[in-house]
Amino acid sequence: MRSTVDFEILKKSLVYAAENSPFYIRLFAEYGINVEKVKSIEDFREVPYSDKTDLREVYPLGLQAVPDEEVVRIHSSSGTTGQPVIIPYTREDVENWAEMFARCYELAGLTRTDRVQITPGFGLWTAGIGFQAGCEKLGAMAIPIGPGNTEKQLQMMVDLKTTVLCATSSYALLLAEEVNKRGLKDKIHLKRGIIGSERWGDLMGKRITEELGIELFDIYGLTEMYGPGIGIDCEKHEGIHYWNDYFYFEIIDPDTGEVLPDGETGELVITTLKKAAAPLIRYRTHDLTRIIPHRCSCGRDYPMIDKITGRTDDMVKVKGVNIYPGQIDELMKEIEGLSSEYQIIIYHEEGRDRVLFRVETAPAVDRVRLKEEIQKTFKNRIGIKADCECVKLGELPRSEKKSRRVFDYRYETQKKKEMVL
């Protein structure tokens, strides 16, 4: 399945944004774009990109493309770095999102008899309510517990016989470890995990799968595009199906902005096709992936992107070499005796950039031998030298949200560096 789109539908969405969104009215005027002259996909590729920085500038409601009486809700992306981005929704937007989410659950094999424990947060952040609305749309039982409170999570999981766990991969791992620690494995009824909001490697997936005895599904989405639920992998796990009746996906070279052919890895750029309250045209997600150029063996018509391999902003350049977390996952798969958890610490010492690769190892391994093997593999696969430190299983921090793995201290004070090293 190629990343094709009916051009008329794409054009309609472009014209809608150009006429109704204050943000796009200004952006297109600035770039001298007359959307009436966009008559082909080639013309469409001349339309400027927008990204989060641009959206922040029109805080709070500069994206709103409908009158106030049509807006039923807003969500906001986390404002950890600067101004948050506010996304308004019409009633139809909310319904479309639930529809997409229900489709995700169906692809993951859920039915009305499932009991779905929802651990992502509720509120301004879009995650929790998306999981819940989709669940209700499907007709399964939602258990909207939200994040944290591991005691309560485990109690609900056992007493209510939860069959589906919705979580970030970090939190799923934390719960899996607790289930094992407390010997609850025979008391839980989990069958599936819907895991989203951060990229996870195969090793981490394998541990969650084995410790909880469940099948994992990788759900994709971002607040600017409704929230999670704009794509998921099916039972074949060959890639993430996305809803091409709601979005047009393009892959670009993050440095040059050039559109890449299907199959090549680059940055995902999304155009919404039906979003009314806050349409987005050629929005840069900063997620690295590729469009899979063939149809999934499940036979469904929805096209696929590959698992997200990282973010353009997670990518760090050390001694002229790009390192991104997806590469580290690949490297760790090759080495026997490693857990899924690691940290990459980059710092400056004696006029040189140095890399420390900290990794958790399985119990009863020869850490000295392993350290040598890791250092050698790191040099071969990544292309630069790293010092390795093997730590005990469970020693690196676990998170209820997203785990931070890359720490770049090159431009920060010595003191801060010492706190981590």
Quick one: 94 or 298, whose CB is closer to Zn ion?
298
Would you tell me which residues interact with Zn ion (CB under 5 A)? 234, 236, 296, 298
What is the nearest approach in angstroms of Zn ion to the Cβ of residue 250?
21
Report how far apart, in Å, the C-alpha atoms of 224 and of each of 177, 371, 412 are: 33, 42, 31
Q: How many residues does the structure list for the chain?
A: 421
Quick one: 239 or 326, whose CB is closer to Zn ion?
239
What is the nearest approach in angstroms of Zn ion to the Cβ of residue 301?
10
What is the nearest approach in angstroms of Zn ion to the Cβ of residue 205?
17
61 half-sphere exposure, CB direction, 13 A CA radius: 12
Torsion of CA 328, 331, 335, 338, to 10 degrees: 10
Number of H helices, E strands in the chain: 12, 21
What is the nearest approach in angstroms of Zn ion to the Cβ of residue 298?
3
What is the nearest approach in angstroms of Zn ion to the Cβ of residue 234?
3
Quick one: 294 or 376, whose CB is closer to Zn ion?
294
What is the nearest approach in angstroms of Zn ion to the Cβ of residue 134?
18
35 alpha carbon, distance to own chain's centre:
31
Q: Are 171 and 400 in contact (CB under 8 A)?
A: yes
* Helix (H/G/I), strand (E/B), else coil: 77: coil
Q: Are 301 and 192 in contact (CB under 8 A)?
A: no
Positive/negative CA dihedral, 205, 208, 210, 212: negative
Quick one: 298 or 384, whose CB is closer to Zn ion?
298
Quick one: 1 or 384, whose CB is closer to Zn ion?
1
Tell me how far apart the alpha carbons of residues 350 and 330 are, in angstroms, rounded to a whole number: 31
Quick one: 236 or 381, whose CB is closer to Zn ion?
236
What is the nearest approach in angstroms of Zn ion to the Cβ of residue 229?
16
Tell me how far apart the alpha carbons of residues 282 and 31 are, in angstroms, rounded to a whole number: 14
Quick one: 301 or 349, whose CB is closer to Zn ion?
301
